[in-house]
Amino acid sequence: MNVKMKKLINDLLQLQELFEARAQQETLADRDRIGDLERAIERMIRQLPADVATLFQRIQQRSPPAIVPMVNNVCSGCGMVIPISLAHAIHAATELHRCPTCARILYYLDSSAPRRVPTRRVGPAGIRVGIARYTSPELMVPDLAATTREEAIRELCNVLATQGFVTDGAQLFEAAMRRETIACTAVEHGLAFPHARGIEGGGLTLTLGISRKGIRFDPQSHSLTRIIFFVVIPSAGSAFYLRLLAGLTRTFADAAARKKLLAAKTPEQLWKTLCQLTRKAIP
């Protein structure tokens, strides 16, 4: 990959992060942060070559995300196999290439770090239901040791790595902290939704940590965060993530629901309480 193309792809990935951060804030209805993100998007678009900016925005409007990785010669946006000759060209990255099926911009991603999908709990008919599609009891942390935002995110990343859901907890932590620099993921009611996108090789995965004393998650606020949902999002899971986020924010805007979650003492209790409370919001 030449230096010019590497910078262009990195710029497009940063722009994609801004679009996805804006979509998250729209779900959370945070108007102040939406305005900041829109201005950042406009600045980034102005820095791109005009033809690339137009292409990106057209794809983003039609079928976001506009740029996705190719993993094992498969487009992670639509799941279709990429022809060998095109796959080699994407790997070489001397120019931008698009998926012949979904038309998204593709870039090469090393797939040497596979993930596994969580063990799912199922309903009486054997169908995966609710939030159990995305998490499991071993990913529940009812008493975080962390006292800072960085420590909390690292602790949850380590849980995912220790339980075998990702292979590199440190890399996941770096991705999550890069996301936090775009816009803090703490919201009202002592909730936070840190996450890392583009983590391929498995499904959407959620881990939950509870801070008993509270953490100052947002450097710009004196409010304390006690309930931290960390989500690992593959490229194809962006739409599912926004629905999950909406369901969680609706559920835990209610003080009684938060109180029940904070009362759980063991991972199994925390998981069962989470499943019960979100049954209607995340069917």
Q: What is the pLDDT of residues 149-203, one digit of tens each?
A: 999 999 999 999 999 888 889 999 999 999 998 888 999 999 999 999 877 667 8
* Dist CA 164 CA 176 (whole Å): 18
This prediction's pTM: 0.80
Instruction: Answer whether 3-108 and 130-277 agree in fold.
Output: no
Nearest CA to 208 out of 193, 198, 196, 188 is that of 193
Residues 6+ apart with CB under 8 A from 274: 131, 135, 140, 208, 261
Is residue 255 classed exposed, middle or buried when 0-12, 13-18 and 19+ CB atoms within 10 A define those classes?
A: exposed
Domain coordinates in residue numbering, the chain:
3-108, 130-277
CATH assignment of 3-108, given 1.10.287.1490, 3.40.50.2300, 3.30.930.10, 3.40.50.720?
1.10.287.1490
- Categorize the per-residue pLDDT at 15 as very low, low, confident or very high, splitting at 50, 70 and 90: very high
Mean pLDDT throughout 82-86? 96
| Least confident segment among 1-10, 43-52, 91-100, 158-167 | 1-10
What per-residue confidence (pLDDT) applies to 44? Answer: 93
**pLDDT of 116 higher than 60:** no
More confident of the two residues 202 and 104: 104
31-47 helix and 3-28 helix, angle to the nearest 10 degrees? 160
Return mean pLDDT, the chain. 89
Token pair in block for residue 144: 């975080």
Task: Indicate if the pLDDT at residue 118 is higher than 60.
Answer: no
Encoded tokens for 215: 């953490």
* Beta carbons of 183 and 17 less than 8 angstroms apart: no
Confidence tier at 232 by pLDDT (50, 70, 90): very high
User: 195-197 and 205-215 as β-strands: parallel, antiparallel, unpaired?
Assistant: unpaired
What pLDDT does residue 122 have? 42
- Mean pLDDT along residues 81-102: 95
CATH 3.40.930.10 fits 130-277, yes or no: yes
Helix/strand/coil for 96: coil
The region of weakest confidence among 35-49, 103-117, 245-259 is: 103-117
